[in-house]
Amino acid sequence: MSAKLWIAIAAVIIIAIVGALVALQQPPAQKPTPSQNTSTAATPPKGNIYVIYDIGGRGDLSFNDMAYLGASKASVDFGLGLKEVQSKTQDDYVPNLRAAARSGDAVLIVAVGFLMTDAVKQVSQEYPNAKFAIIDGYIPDRPNVLSVLYKENEGSALVGALAALTAYYYNCTKVGIVLGMEIPVLWKFEIGYAYGVRWAERYIKQKFGKDVKFDILYIYTGSFNDPAKGKQAAEVMLAQGVCVIYQAAGATGLGVFEAVAEAGKRAGRNMGPPFAIGVDADQDYIKPGFILASMMKRVDVGVYTAAKMAVEGTFKGGVLELGLKDGGVSVSTLDDLAQFIQIGVRAGAVKQEDADKIVAAVREMRSKIPSWVWDAVNQLKQDIIAGKEQVPLPTTQDQVAQLRKELGLGVAS
């Protein structure tokens, strides 16, 4: 399936699903970029939330769509309009942000993604009275900019442990991670995942008395919106015997799911191994039975919190960092899946009979993973929250290079 068709399908699905969140309270009136949702025709919005998307854009079923989810909920709860602006290239960042800032009706301007950091720095200085929130960008010294950061290394450590322990159960010793562009925020996914794998080795030694060494392969695809590249990267790993692949690549990762499911079906299986692991949103439903779990990065929570602060008059610049303890990152559960599927049912994107089949397939797949695996992942979670386990947090190229060496990561080729 072509990359363009993948993205088109993804966009249709996610628009229908997230639209159900607001359908019971307001009928959104969609416009071309920017688009606007208003509370009702009789009650004009008190202002607008502007969401400026990165070049990855809506329809990735993860990062950007989670930002929309938080903004749409905030628009309903606080009686605000919602205007969306898609950036086609990086040259669009500054003019898109300026247009929102000079509109005069922006309660909050949300910049979705690390790549907009420099643009937000520039425009926030030009418009000191406008309020900005940037997801994954670090701008700690502006009174009108809230930097919303996540401890992706913590959540990634959990799915790293899950990947390794599941691989061990299926007599496999190779796991991998497919990433998008190599930017600092993705180092947290990569290194956190590897740390979780090495933690699992220690756990296996303690529980079973066995010395196991996992190969950890990684590939940066250089893209967040090219499923074909994700599929190609996953196929390279699968050919080398990798049995669990974590995707941290936005819409590019949809190709990872395709490759894993195809490999499983060629082997005559209707569920893994091999397995994939989703990212940002609960993606377990996309290829039910082949997606072990998802590392949920609650971008929606960050966007909603920033909007709430702006509306209530408590907004101030600085850093809002969300980790395991704060519910900012987590491993998807069956409860998450059931909730997400029901939203899809109400939106008409998923038939109830198909929804039941999807949930049943995921439930069956999870039931085949021993309970000690899930218990171990929860143990690691509690140890991280308690401070007993410190997941590395690389911030420079030198640090990530050293940690790759210490944790034994290898480039898949």
Domains in the chain, ordered, with CATH? 48-150 (3.40.50.2300), 152-296+333-407 (3.40.50.2300)
How does residue 69 score in pLDDT terms, banded at 50, 70 and 90? confident
User: Does residue 412 contact residue 237 with C-beta atoms inside 8 Å?
Assistant: yes
pLDDT in tens, 334-392: 988 887 777 656 656 568 888 889 999 999 999 999 999 999 999 999 999 999 999 99
Q: What pLDDT score does 26 carry?
A: 39
* pLDDT above 70: residue 317: yes
Distance in angstroms (rounded) separating the CA atoms of residues 304 and 311: 11
Encoded tokens for 311 = 């509306």
Question: What's the mean pLDDT in 23-49?
Answer: 51
Q: What pLDDT score does 31 carry?
A: 36
How does residue 129 score in pLDDT terms, banded at 50, 70 and 90? very high
pLDDT in tens, 263-293: 999 999 999 999 999 998 899 998 999 999 9
DSSP state letter for 114: G
How does residue 29 score in pLDDT terms, banded at 50, 70 and 90? very low
* pLDDT above 80: residue 21: no
User: Does residue 7 contact residue 225 with C-beta atoms inside 8 Å?
Assistant: yes
Position of tokens 């854009």? 57
Q: What pLDDT score does 66 carry?
A: 86
**Residue 109 CB partners (closer than 8 Å, separation 6+):** 50, 52, 97, 100, 101, 130, 131, 132, 133
Question: What's the mean pLDDT in 41-60?
Answer: 80
Q: What pLDDT score does 4 carry?
A: 45
Q: In this predicted model, which residue has the larger pLDDT, 66 or 84?
A: 84
Encoded tokens for 362 = 């995921």
Question: What's the mean pLDDT in 32-53?
Answer: 66
Encoded tokens for 20 = 């159900």
Enter the pTM of the model: 0.83
Supply the mean pLDDT for the chain: 89
**Residue 240 CB partners (closer than 8 Å, separation 6+):** 174, 217, 412
